[in-house]
Structure 1
Amino acid sequence: MTKPITILVVEDEMIIGAKISLLLTKLGYEVTGIVPKGEEAILYIQQNAPDIVLLDIHLRGQMDGIDTAREILKEGHKTVLIYLTANTDEETFNRAKQTRPFAFLSKPIQPQELQRTIELTVERILVQREVNLQEDKPLPQETNEELMLLQDRIFVSSKNKLVKIFINDILYLVAERSYCQIFTKDQQFILSVPLKSVEHKLQTAQFLRVHRSYLVNIKAIDEISQNYVFINKKAIPMVETAKEELFKRLNKV
């Protein structure tokens, strides 16, 4: 049975915290707690180990959100951090960035933005769980080899055999530590090679690294918004530099 994804909200404005909790609950997620202080959040995480922490960056008290995040990381917790913030100056942003958050959500929280961010975060967690399961199993010899590339297709190792994937059928790839995952319309494959290696193999204008964790097939993009591209109804985060490169390539088509 799959363990449900659990979420902790750390917000000193309890009305805002309750509103976020209600939105998440309506979306079908399990919010296990709302706490107003960093010290309480650290104690809660020690006892309950939530998968995701929505953390107000400007917590009042002795510890702000960034101090809290640093302590969480120092203690080695595996929870995924998402910052909540109304206004963040450059200095604060740079401090926050050092704690390696998965995302920043701007206040007031927009339901659609919250939904997309949590969906992406949950996908990352589920991929990591699958990778952990794979790590616990002895890998067949061929999975330690690089994937094979032949003009319009690649061959990847899956269940002790090589499987052909046409390059045009690849929608996007997701990085996870030393592994990566390939998504097509109907299938997904976990590879025991880093995304960088696959990106090097797929040296073509057809693929673009839109985020440190995502390599997308430009031909598969259905929609483009301010901070996301959409492929097969999946919202994929996109950094500003990648957006500029994407439009350059699209203008050449």
Structure 2
Amino acid sequence: MEFKNVKLLILEDQELIAENLRRILEELGARKIWIATSTEKAEALINEVDFDLLLIDINLGEGQKMGTELMLEIHEKSPIPHIYITANADERNIKSASATFPEGFLEKPYTQQSIQASISIALKKIDKQKLTVTLNNRKILIDVNDILYLETDSNYVNLFLENGQKCVERISLKQLLGRLPLDFIQIHKSYVINLNKVQHFTSTHVKLNKQELPVGRNYKKQFKDKMEQILR
């Protein structure tokens, strides 16, 4: 994805800081930048524009939501790639922010080099969030966030999408999992799930949409640890 085509939203309550960040991004080649100085303005823009990446200050002004609170609400509806900006990148802040699977953290005071590095890593991750699959004998490009879960079927993998469609790929489950972001996790020898779509889970089963899948004995600890990390 070329940086000049990336649609960016900056959420920063201090306008001078936001404008300085815009200037740096433009020097790096960005051409499509929006600024919000409040969570209300950010929510309105997110409803209007299909952003590729959000730059979210964690600690906003008095009387506003935390940046992490806003992203948790957005994450529940439809996750958007984002980088958190913080003046206090301590372990507690990072743990609480990790629940929304950010593409990274940008610590204040930042430099053009640190911004460039964070954006570059984020865009590589975003590119990985698109997947070419086969639907009705033709190749299409899908957003991986539209995938509920994967199911192995002999030499094929079935991809079950949120809209009810099923795609079939001639590939191993392990190979396909390697192409997906870290919020996809194997819970059984036959199943990989999208953690963003989990509605309910126990030690033996997980529910996504209306589908209930088993958690295999060999995958219980990995699944439990991941869910505990998200819920912290």
Scaled by the length of structure 1, what TM-score is found? 0.52
AA in 2 matched with 1:117: S
Distance 1:124 1:69, change over 3 A: same
Distance 1:24 1:143, change over 3 A: same
Percent of pairs with identical residues: 28
The CA deviation at 1:143 is 3.6
Task: Name the counterpart of 2:229.
Answer: none
Task: Name the counterpart of 2:64.
Answer: 62
Query: Are 1:39 and 1:63, in contact at CA under 8 Å, matched by a contact in 2?
Result: no
| Deviation larger for 90-99 or 138-147 | 138-147
Distance 1:74 1:39, change over 3 A: farther
CA distance in 2 between counterparts of 1:76 and 1:93 reads 21
* Secondary structure in structure 1 of the residue aligned to 2:82: strand
AA in 2 matched with 1:176: L
Query: Are 2:81 and 2:102, in contact at CA under 8 Å, matched by a contact in 1?
Result: yes
* Secondary structure in structure 1 of the residue aligned to 2:83: strand
CA distance in 1 between counterparts of 2:125 and 2:134 reads 16
- Over residues 23-44 of structure 1, what are the superposed CA-to-partner deviations in whole Å (9 max), with x where a residue is unaligned? 1111112343111111221221
What are structure 1's unaligned runs of at least 5 residues? 148-155, 157-173, 179-193, 195-253
* Secondary structure in structure 2 of the residue aligned to 1:82: strand
The CA deviation at 1:138 is 5.1
Distance 1:12 1:135, change over 3 A: farther
Query: Are 2:103 and 2:121, in contact at CA under 8 Å, matched by a contact in 1?
Result: no
What are structure 2's unaligned runs of at least 5 residues? 141-154, 157-168, 187-232
The CA deviation at 1:91 is 3.2
Task: Name the counterpart of 1:200.
Answer: none
Instruction: Give runs of aligned pairs for residues 42-191 of structure 1, distance below 5 A.
Output: 42-60=43-61, 61-77=63-79, 79-129=80-130, 131=131, 133-134=132-133, 137=138, 143-145=170-172, 175-177=179-181
What CA RMSD, in Å, does the superposition of the two structures yield over aligned residues?
A: 3.6
Task: Name the counterpart of 1:12.
Answer: 13
Distance 1:31 1:85, change over 3 A: farther
Query: Are 1:14 and 1:36, in contact at CA under 8 Å, matched by a contact in 2?
Result: yes
CA distance in 2 between counterparts of 1:50 and 1:146 reads 31
AA in 1 matched with 2:133: Q
CA distance in 2 between counterparts of 1:85 and 1:177 reads 24
Report how many aligned residue pairs link the two structures. 157
AA in 1 matched with 2:103: F
- Over residues 10-56 of structure 1, what are the superposed CA-to-partner deviations in whole Å (9 max), with x where a residue is unaligned? 00111111111111111112343111111221221111021100000
CA distance in 1 between counterparts of 2:69 and 2:58 reads 9
CA distance in 2 between counterparts of 1:89 and 1:146 reads 37
Distance 1:117 1:135, change over 3 A: farther
Scaled by the length of structure 2, what TM-score is found? 0.57
Larger RCO (CA under 8 A, 6+ residues apart):
2
CA distance in 2 between counterparts of 1:145 and 1:175 reads 11
* Secondary structure in structure 2 of the residue aligned to 1:58: coil
The CA deviation at 1:175 is 4.5
CA distance in 1 between counterparts of 2:171 and 2:107 reads 42
